[in-house]
A = this chain, B = another copy of it.
Amino acid sequence: MAPQTLSTVEEYKKLVDSVEVFLLDCDGVIYHGPQVVPGVKEVLKYLRSIGKRILFVTNNASKSRRMYKSTFDKLGIEVSENEIFGSAYASAVYMSKILQFPKDKRVYVIGQAGLEEELDAVGIAHAGGSDPEDRVFIDQGDYSSVVADPSIGAVLCGFDAYINYKKYSKAYTYLKDNEGCHFLLTNQDATFPTNGTTYPGSGAMSAPLVFASKRTPTIIGKPNKIMMDAIIAEHHFDPAKALMVGDNLSTDIEFGLGSGVRTLLVFGGVTKREQVFGDNASETVPDFVMESLGDLAVLAKEK
């Protein structure tokens, strides 16, 4: 079944009328790197003016909500921190509210300050992460700094530009030796787009731990339902009244389809038209497609 293409004011209006909560992917929907997608500012203002709720749902695990707000501020887009739901915060909410991670244990973090900030926000103690002692190279054969630590009750892996063998060895050791040690990934994106190309993403970063430990991690970010459970645990809405808007079939659209939320794919991001229409179309079919979220700006003018 092909998705419904939206291109007229009537089609836009009918969709918007049926949605109470807009779940918006960021990169590829709201902005492309430093460029805001044309019309999107007007659309956000319009949706708010008619009482819609907006949540920004992103897999980027290196930023906290505070950091995201600062990014949005710089782009001239008004948001409040509690409208932002990144996989770093989702991981913290999952560990705190759903996993009920014990207060006397610590999580070993492969990740950056944004992830630590969100763990701090929910009161989960952590090790690793941005600790300078773990941002070092160790010589082959010198494992003296990789020692047992029974206080570690989970390993949480996100994006870490300072990834190194000491971090991998420590995380692997905890996963192997600490009984009941949880294994969590913020998300499993193979790559992420920037500068008009792509680089290895959080999913690539965590691959050595999965490969070496032979364990199956719990994955938080889109397309996993855990992300939606964490969003709803915080924001309490009826999935049937929500719409997930994204540019990525395998994260955004799968995410909506797997959690009872309707989906709108926009072009101009990572998905090409032939992945949705035609003989070689993906098996992942969004409910709706349109060129750009910015196209809804016409509704503001009609108003």
**A186 beta carbon closer than 8 Å to chain B:** no
Residues in B neighbouring A173, C-beta threshold 8 A: 197, 199
Residues in B neighbouring A168, C-beta threshold 8 A: 163, 200, 204
**A223 beta carbon closer than 8 Å to chain B:** no
Least Cβ–Cβ distance between A160 and chain B, in angstroms: 8
Cα–Cα distance between A169 and B197 once the two chains are bound (Å): 11
**A194 beta carbon closer than 8 Å to chain B:** yes
Residues of A254-270 contacting chain B, CB below 8 A: none
**A79 beta carbon closer than 8 Å to chain B:** no
Cα–Cα distance between A253 and B212 once the two chains are bound (Å): 20
How many chain A residues sit at the interface, stated as a range, is 35 or more
Whether the pair B194, A143 counts as a contact (CB closer than 8 A) is yes
**A221 beta carbon closer than 8 Å to chain B:** no
**A201 beta carbon closer than 8 Å to chain B:** yes
Contact of A207 among B159, B176, B195, B211 (CB under 8 A): B211
Residues in B neighbouring A248, C-beta threshold 8 A: none
**A140 beta carbon closer than 8 Å to chain B:** yes
**A198 beta carbon closer than 8 Å to chain B:** yes
Mark contacts of A129-145 with chain B using CB atoms, 8 A cut-off: 1 yes-contact digit, 0 otherwise.
00000010111110100
Cα–Cα distance between A270 and B204 once the two chains are bound (Å): 28
Whether the pair B191, A212 counts as a contact (CB closer than 8 A) is yes
Whether the pair B137, A199 counts as a contact (CB closer than 8 A) is no
Cα–Cα distance between A169 and B62 once the two chains are bound (Å): 17
Nearest B-chain residue to A210, judged by Cβ: B207
Residues of A23-41 contacting chain B, CB below 8 A: none
Whether the pair B208, A200 counts as a contact (CB closer than 8 A) is yes
Residues in B neighbouring A94, C-beta threshold 8 A: none
**Given known A-B contacts A62-B140, A140-B112, A212 and B194 have beta carbons under 8 A apart:** no
Cα–Cα distance between A173 and B194 once the two chains are bound (Å): 13
**A172 beta carbon closer than 8 Å to chain B:** yes
Residues in B neighbouring A164, C-beta threshold 8 A: 137, 162-164
**A161 beta carbon closer than 8 Å to chain B:** yes
Whether the pair B212, A143 counts as a contact (CB closer than 8 A) is no
**A203 beta carbon closer than 8 Å to chain B:** yes
**A214 beta carbon closer than 8 Å to chain B:** yes
Whether the pair B162, A137 counts as a contact (CB closer than 8 A) is yes
Residues in B neighbouring A212, C-beta threshold 8 A: 190-191, 200-201, 203-204
Give 29 pairs: A residue, B residue, CB < 8 Å, sorted on A. A62-B140, A137-B161, A137-B162, A137-B164, A138-B161, A139-B161, A140-B159, A143-B199, A161-B165, A163-B163, A163-B164, A163-B165, A165-B200, A168-B204, A169-B199, A172-B191, A172-B199, A176-B197, A190-B212, A191-B212, A200-B212, A201-B212, A203-B211, A204-B207, A204-B209, A204-B212, A207-B208, A207-B210, A208-B208
